[in-house]
């Protein structure tokens, strides 16, 4: 399967210049045509046999460039999906500029949480997808009623708490790695408060037993430090009720916070808080790509064989999988 990508930009109406532009890289299944445009400009048409394409919008971790998740975008595009990665330089918190997944901090406050979306970039990205459905390479090939939100770290939290059709009717599922939904004490939450998730759509949570960033950020949430997986487990057990058999928790043995990222940038963010991974990171990424792909194939593309394959993968003896739950 040939995967190609192109670049776009979108304005975030709620943001102020110069921090009001999101830069997108959009991956799609392609098929060489031999056309002059292809040879001259490198513009390769879509593979029409794969259309219409469900769309994955992926939210990066804070100060993690979109390029770090290109491996996942390519793997998912090979399955017949369109994937949107983006970079947005803005104020993560007032006075601090960096790469952000686009969190609307005001809507994280206790008085507001749950009544309004927290994904500040998402309306602009959805509007851009509507535009791309009418012109350009992807015109007429997108299934904009089957949108999946995914993310890493803070971006993972944005994905899972905005998978709510009352906010975004197009969204059909969500997945996250290295994310949890504990309320920050600086925002006014009581220590250890677990915030509810929408709990209406298929959800996949993946965590690592060596996630040092989660373990060493416990003071933000008023809980004891040192545990890499408790917030992720509590998110699964307390923030969602389940009951549809489409919510998953997978813990990876020896994976750390940046196992999701293809490379580590030690110059920004807080990678110095992380614990060492106990296995090659590529092994974790290969496994995560397969789990995420089969999750989407099962619950969004409704492929019966994918459901069986996902069950077999998660229930098989695998030294990289510490535990698996479904409800």
DSSP letter for each residue of 167-223: T-TTEEEEEEES---BPPGGGTPPTTPBPP---SS-EEEEEEEE-HHHHTTGGGGTS
52 burial class (0-12, 13-18, 19+ CB within 10 angstroms)? Answer: middle
Question: 103 pLDDT exceeds 80?
Answer: yes
Residues 4-18 pLDDT 10s: 999 999 999 999 999
What does pLDDT average to over the chain?
Answer: 94
Residue 115 burial by Cβ neighbours in a 10 Å radius (0-12, 13-18, 19+): exposed
Share of residues in the chain with pLDDT > 90 (%): 85
- Whether 200 shows a pLDDT value over 90: the answer reads yes
**Domains of the chain, earliest start first:** 2-326 (3.40.50.1820)
Question: Measured between alpha carbons, how far is 114 from 164 in angstroms, rounded to an integer?
Answer: 10
Residues 6+ apart with CB under 8 A from 17: none
Tokens of 62: 């804070």
Mark out the alpha helices in the chain (DSSP H runs): 36-41, 70-77, 122-132, 154-161, 212-215, 230-238, 281-299, 304-315
- Beta strand 89-93 with 82-87 is unpaired
Residues 99, 87: contact at Cβ < 8 Å? Answer: yes
DSSP class of residue 46? B
Structure tokens that stand for 88 in this block: 């947005």
φ, ψ for residue 324, nearest 5 deg: -145, 135
Q: Which of 66-75, 96-105, 263-272 has the lowest mean pLDDT?
A: 263-272
Q: How do strand 21-30 and strand 82-87 relate by DSSP bridges?
A: antiparallel
Closest CA to 208 of 270, 263, 277: 277
List beta partners, residue 326: 248
What is the pLDDT, as a whole number, of residue 299? 97
- The pLDDT value recorded for residue 264 is 84
Tokens of 84: 């949107």
Q: Where on the phi/psi map is residue 46: left (φ > 0), alpha (ψ -120 to 50), or beta?
A: beta
User: Quick one: DSSP state of residue 65?
Assistant: -
**What average pLDDT does the segment 63-82 reach?**
97
Residue whose C-alpha is closest to residue 48's, from 31, 33, 34, 35: 31
pLDDT tens, position by position, 237-283: 999 999 999 999 999 999 999 999 998 888 988 899 999 999 999 99
Rounded Cα gap, residues 248 and 177, in angstroms:
12
pLDDT for 125 beyond 80 = yes
């Amino acid at each position: 399967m040939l995967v190609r990508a192109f670049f776009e930009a979108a304005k975030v109406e709620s943001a102020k210049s110069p921090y009001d532009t999101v830069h997108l890289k959009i991956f799609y299944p392609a098929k060489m045509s031999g056309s002059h445009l292809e040879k001259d400009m490198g513009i390769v048409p879509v593979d029409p046999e794969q259309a219409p394409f469900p769309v994955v919008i992926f939210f990066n971790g804070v100060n993690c460039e979109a390029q770090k998740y290109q491996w996942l975008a390519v793997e998912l595009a090979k399955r017949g999906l369109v994937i949107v990665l983006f970079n947005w330089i803005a104020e993560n918190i007032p006075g601090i500029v960096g790469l952000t997944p686009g969190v609307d901090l005001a809507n994280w406050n206790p008085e507001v949480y749950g009544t309004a979306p927290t994904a500040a970039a998402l309306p602009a990205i959805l509007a851009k997808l509507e535009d791309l459905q009418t012109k350009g390479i992807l015109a007429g090939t997108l299934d904009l009623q089957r949108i999946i939100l995914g993310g890493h770290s803070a971006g993972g939290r944005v994905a899972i708490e905005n998978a709510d059709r009352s906010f975004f009717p197009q969204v059909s599922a969500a997945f996250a790695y290295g994310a949890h939904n504990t309320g920050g004490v600086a925002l006014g939450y009581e220590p250890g408060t677990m915030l509810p998730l929408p709990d209406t759509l298929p959800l996949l949570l993946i965590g690592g037993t060596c996630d040092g960033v989660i373990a060493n950020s416990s003071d933000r949430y008023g809980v004891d430090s040192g545990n890499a997986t408790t917030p992720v487990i509590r998110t699964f057990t307390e923030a969602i009720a389940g009951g549809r058999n489409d919510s998953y928790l997978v813990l990876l043995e020896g994976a750390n916070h940046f196992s999701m990222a293809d490379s580590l940038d030690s110059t920004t963010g807080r990678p110095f808080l992380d614990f060492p991974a106990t296995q090659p990171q590529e092994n974790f990424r290969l496994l995560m790509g397969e789990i995420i792909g089969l999750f989407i194939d099962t619950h969004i593309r409704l492929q019966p064989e994918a459901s069986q394959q996902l069950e077999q993968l998660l229930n098989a003896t695998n030294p990289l999988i510490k535990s698996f739950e479904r409800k």
